[in-house]
Amino acid sequence: MYRVTGKFVSLSAVSIAVCVLAAAAAPAQAGWSTPVHPSAACTPASGLNITRNTAGAWLLVGSFTQSDGSAAVESCTSSDGVSWSGPSMIGPGILPVVAVAPNGRAVVAFSGLPPAAYNIQASVRPPGGNWSTPVAISTGTVSASALIKMDGSGNAIAIWPTGTASLAANSTTWTPVTTLAAKNGTQGLAVNSTGSVVIGYRNGSPDETRAVSGSILGGLGAPVSLGGNYGTAVRPVQVALNDAGQAVLGWVTDDYCKVVTRTAGGTWSAPTQLDGINAEGVGVAIDAAGNAIAGYGDDEPDVHGVTAIYGTKMPAGGTWGTATLLSTLDAKGHVTVGGDAAGTFIVAWLDNAGNVEALTIPPGGAFGPGTVVGAGGITQLIVIPGLAVLSIGAGISHQSIN
């Protein structure tokens, strides 16, 4: 529930032939496993969108190319991260996102294909059952990306640029919640275990970053303006939320990276502008105590093609510290940040050699150098109790934490 992904990441079951992912947790910094691709049958055309519940059930969804050249959303499942079943057909579409409840109930949302006019589609799979026939939960969302999250009871919320919808754990009927006015590709979503929700997005007019708060089943409040934007760059707003109701939100203008925090009572802070003048990507996370972290990129004007990666922390009730250089000026950016309730934080980025580097910071630890995980861009970082998983070009890598 404390996971947040950075730029170019979406959320959010993985095939690792060398170990069992549900193994007992090892100390932090135990090392990332060698990236391994799923079997050919369970490798989608692009990206590896994965999730895992607390019971150890893994689920992978992706857009798979069919024999006639069309795209369809399919899924693969695993109980141990080694043996896989599937793929199972869900329906024609692209850009799938997925969440799975503790009891194994899964919900997927994706962008449909004509004649569905690219509406956001959704399908539900009960524990031990089959995927339901996809239904449209939106209208007029041309080739838009959705996000989906679940709370600890299995209630789900999906969002897309123009709206949101919720699905109770014991229901098959989606309920519209509210209308958004987000620029496509800027929306961010965080949900905690009790069902509280924070949505961040870039509004069109006036051009500002906004937050909407509420709960999955109780509805959402009015948007709150957090700060202005500049220029035309469209980048995802990143949000993290803990079970106490404290939150952190980050966004990037054409020039700067900005972060705000929210108290458990719902009051947002004024924006803090982080060091750097050519911001490129940001990720944020917060632990159960309210300690927060931000990782972000800053394009270096004197070194063509290089984006320096920085990290900064904010202790619970404190202020943001001085930024620390993490990448030794060898990066391309694509910053991704995640964390868990216990206070383990992970910052990952793409270096100048095309490798993904990751820094794992144990609770109370300090910034340090990154470790090369493998080649290729970052699709996803998820952090769950005892385990962190990176989906990258070279495949899936994991690391035991705490």
pLDDT exceeds 50 at position 1: no
Q: What is the mean pLDDT of residues 48-73?
A: 88
With bands split at pLDDT 50, 70 and 90, how would you rate the model's confidence at 78? confident
> Is 208 exposed, middle or buried, given 0-12, 13-18 or 19+ CB atoms closer than 10 A?
middle
Q: What is the mean pLDDT of residues 301-315?
A: 85
Q: What is the mean pLDDT of residues 124-146?
A: 86
Decide which of 3.30.470.20, 3.65.10.10, 2.130.10.10, 3.40.50.300 is the CATH code for 40-400.
2.130.10.10
Cis peptide bond prior to 115, omega within 30° of 0 = yes
Share of the chain above pLDDT 70, in %: 88
- Amino acid 233: pLDDT: 66
User: 2: phi > 0 → left, psi -120 to 50 → alpha, else beta; which?
Assistant: alpha
Of 8-12, 36-40, 66-70, 228-232, give the range with the top mean pLDDT.
66-70
- Amino acid 155: pLDDT: 97
pLDDT exceeds 90 at position 91: yes
- Amino acid 141: pLDDT: 64
**Distance between CA 286 and CA 139 in Å, rounded?**
34
**196 — phi, psi (to 5°)?**
-70, 150
With bands split at pLDDT 50, 70 and 90, how would you rate the model's confidence at 248? very high
Beta-carbon count within 10 A of 249 CB: 33
**Distance between CA 169 and CA 148 in Å, rounded?**
14
With bands split at pLDDT 50, 70 and 90, how would you rate the model's confidence at 12? very low
pLDDT exceeds 70 at position 20: no
SS (H, E, C) the chain: CCCCCCCCCCCCCCCCCCCCCCCCCCCCCCCCCCCECCCHHHCCCCCCEEEECCCCCEEEEEEEECCCCCEEEEEEEECCCCCEEEEEEEEECEEEEEEECCCCCEEEEEECCCCCCCCEEEEEECCCCCCCCCEECCCCCCCCCCEEEECCCCCEEEEECCEEEEECCCCCCCEEEEECCECCCCCEEEECCCCEEEEEEEECCCCEEEEEEEECCCEECCCEEEEECCCCCCCCCEEEECCCCCEEEEEECCCCEEEEEECCCCCECCCEECCCCCEEEEEEEECCCCCEEEEEEEECCCCCCCEEEEEEEECCCCCCCCCEECCCCCEEEEEEEEECCCCCEEEEEEECCCEEEEEEECCCCCCCCCEEEEECCEEEEEEECCEEEEEECCEEEEEECC
Domain ranges for the chain, please list them. 40-400
**Distance between CA 208 and CA 336 in Å, rounded?**
23
For the stretch 353-378, pLDDT in tens is 899 999 999 999 999 999 999 998 89
Q: What is the mean pLDDT of residues 78-90?
A: 80
pLDDT exceeds 60 at position 21: no
pLDDT exceeds 70 at position 11: no
pLDDT exceeds 90 at position 117: no
With bands split at pLDDT 50, 70 and 90, how would you rate the model's confidence at 84? confident
Round the average pLDDT of the chain to a whole number and report it.
Answer: 86
Of 63-67, 134-138, 254-258, 263-267, give the range with the top mean pLDDT.
263-267
With bands split at pLDDT 50, 70 and 90, how would you rate the model's confidence at 131? very high
Give bridge partners of residue 85 from the DSSP assignment.
Answer: 77
With bands split at pLDDT 50, 70 and 90, how would you rate the model's confidence at 176? confident
Q: What is the mean pLDDT of residues 50-71?
A: 88
- Half-sphere exposure (Cβ direction) of 125: Cα atoms closer than 13 Å: 24
Beta-carbon count within 10 A of 114 CB: 7
Report how far Cα 194 is from the mean position of its chain's Cα atoms. Answer: 19
- Amino acid 28: pLDDT: 37
Q: What is the mean pLDDT of residues 386-398?
A: 88
With bands split at pLDDT 50, 70 and 90, how would you rate the model's confidence at 81? low
- Amino acid 18: pLDDT: 25
